[in-house]
Amino acid sequence: MIYVKNNGLNTYEPDIRALINSFYPGEEIVHVSGTENAVNDPADKDAFKAVYLDIDRICRGMKREEDRFRDKNNVKRAVYNELSGLAGRKLPWGTLTGIRPVRILERYEPFCKSREELGERLKEEFLISEDKFRLSETIYDNELRALSSIDYKNGYSIYIGIPFCPTRCVYCSFTSYPLGMFEDELPDYIAAVEKELASIGRLESMEGSVLYGKKLQTVYVGGGTPSVLSPELTARLIDGVKVCLDTSWLKELTFEAGRPDTIDMDKLTVLKQLGVDRISINPQTMNEGTLKAIGREHSVDDIREAFLLARKAGFDNINMDVIAGLPGEGVKEFEHTLYEIGKLDPESLTVHTLAVKRASRLNMEGNAWGGVERKGLDKEGASEVSRMVELGKEYALKRGLEPYYLYRQKNMAGNLENTGYARRGKESLYNILMMEEKHTVIGIGAGSSTKLVAYDGEAFKDNSVRRFENTKDLKSYLTETESLIKKREAFFELQS
């Protein structure tokens, strides 16, 4: 239990809460208004069972800044130092709690004479470790290099969500519907997606629209598991993109094949023939017992077979995802996963750190998992998961894969990160553009999100991103597609 007194700095409450969660993931936070005597539960008086934070005291006497960004950083730094002392550890990302830490480099570099000065400033202001600064620096440079080949300021991207899966993984909180119950809905779902694509096509050619004159540069079909679609529906979906939109400037078309139990040669052939140039085959782990524990109904051999089929179909840009900190896994199991993936030699590897989301089965059914969902959240577990992530980095670098994008999530084991590694020229442009919010990304399908990015000259404006959310509910999406389209068109008009 974490007791917090914060009467004078409520404006920064979300940031303070995020820091507390970084040190004490999963602990309940209770706000109190009095002194430490407000902690009434005798059991919680035990210092090992409760933490009391008086934010007003911690920040008393602090010089306040007129600039809100600087003032917030000062407050977070003071709270961080207090929490670090109480928890007996430091966080690799210091006070940074946002999902895009690499953007801090973009913001601060113009005011620094050298990279050394930039690093010292970030370590001083945000207390990030030397290792994480160097990782951010490398990714920042690789992002700039990868994007140098496209005029992304005058482009946009599309994300198409296919929210259906054979089974639901225990750690998953994405919008997803079990295929067994909703397979009959797939044709209607693709029809609704086609209507959305047609509306984007109209906006693309409409003078005065925010999309007018913009070039479609990347398309990403994600999920869920898009490869649950039949070859016929897959072809219909990709054809819909080409019929409704101008794809003459398209630089990348990604399709998440995802689960190996949904992949066959017929689907792979259709994808290749229709111009898909990047796919993902995501094992998450190469340990049989873990696959069963997390809700996967396929084997390690199925993963290998799906990968080899993709190679046979002609795909030369395949990504594979792995997760550090899965239930029941330690360094030995994770190392085995990397070893087996090394035999397949994919062009890119995304190393995720397990994030226990509130809506996941792993969080809601924690007792059924014997406490393993806590791995990486305490000091000892954080060290183990950190070693797994380091092993992923070592594996990637040895195989010529360089880090090129990074993002963070709440409740991540070890307060770490997710990092994408790829061979030069095989990076996912969509991942960079979406994660760093370099240009507008239009979300299509149930549960997808549109991020409209306003770009001004050489720098992003403050609050430059406007969002439009599609409904997550499948029935509502299918019955209200026309209404959703009208609302988004009006949204685009208001922003133009």
- What's the confidence (pLDDT) of residue 356? 58
Adjacent-strand bridge partners of 157: 218, 441
3-state secondary structure 6-18: CCCCHHHHHHHHH
The CA-atom distances, in angstroms, between 45 and each of 36, 79, 339 are 10, 21, 48
Residue 186 one-letter amino acid: L
CA neighbor of 320 nearest in space, from 283, 294, 292: 283
Residue 450: in which H helix or E strand, if any? strand 449-456
The half-sphere exposure of 294 on its side-chain side, counting CA atoms within 13 A, is 26
Alpha carbons 405 and 453: distance in angstroms, whole number: 19
The CA-atom distances, in angstroms, between 88 and each of 10, 288, 339 are 26, 36, 34
Alpha carbons 396 and 318: distance in angstroms, whole number: 14
How distant is the alpha carbon of residue 54 from its chain centre? 33
Digitized pLDDT (tens) for each residue of the chain, 496 residues in all: 898 988 777 788 899 999 998 888 778 888 887 655 555 554 444 544 678 888 988 998 888 888 888 999 999 999 999 999 999 989 999 999 889 999 999 999 999 999 999 999 999 999 999 999 999 999 999 999 999 989 999 999 999 999 998 876 665 655 678 887 889 999 999 999 999 999 999 998 888 788 888 999 999 999 889 999 999 999 999 999 999 999 999 999 999 987 899 999 999 999 999 999 999 999 999 999 999 888 888 899 999 999 999 999 999 999 999 999 998 899 999 999 999 999 999 999 999 998 754 444 444 444 444 344 444 445 567 789 999 999 999 999 999 999 999 999 877 777 899 999 999 999 999 999 999 999 999 999 999 999 998 765 444 445 578 899 999 999 999 999 999 999 998 888 766 5
Please enumerate in sequence order all residues whose Cβ is within 8 A of that of 292, keeping only pairs 6 or more positions apart, or say none. Answer: none
Alpha carbons 46 and 34: distance in angstroms, whole number: 19
3-state secondary structure 19-78: HHHHHCCCCCEEEECCCHHHCCCHHHHCCCCCEEEEHHHHCCCCCCCCCHHHHHHHHHHH
Please enumerate in sequence order all residues whose Cβ is within 8 A of that of 256, keeping only pairs 6 or more positions apart, or say none. Answer: 220, 221, 222, 223, 225, 226, 227, 279, 280, 282
Helices (H), 399-480: 429-435, 474-479
Please enumerate in sequence order all residues whose Cβ is within 8 A of that of 486, keeping only pairs 6 or more positions apart, or say none. Answer: none
Query: What is the CATH T-level fold of the domain 147-490, as seen in this structure?
Result: pyruvate-formate lyase- activating enzyme (3.80.30)
- What's the confidence (pLDDT) of residue 174? 59
What is the b/e burial string over 274-283, where b = at least 16 CB atoms within 10 angstroms of the residue's CB? bebbbbbbbb
* C-beta of residue 257 within 8 angstroms of C-beta of residue 281: yes
- What's the confidence (pLDDT) of residue 33? 74
Structure tokens at 134: 């160097």
- What's the confidence (pLDDT) of residue 414? 77
Q: Where are the domains of the chain?
A: 1-88, 147-490
- What's the confidence (pLDDT) of residue 376? 46
Does residue 465 sit in helix, strand or coil?
Answer: strand
Adjacent-strand bridge partners of 281: 258
- What's the confidence (pLDDT) of residue 11? 84
- What's the confidence (pLDDT) of residue 301? 96
DSSP 179-223: HHHHGGGHHHHHHHHHHHHHHHHHHHTSTTSTTTTPEEEEEEEEE
- What's the confidence (pLDDT) of residue 463? 55
The CA-atom distances, in angstroms, between 336 and each of 56, 93, 199, 391, 397 are 49, 28, 47, 11, 17
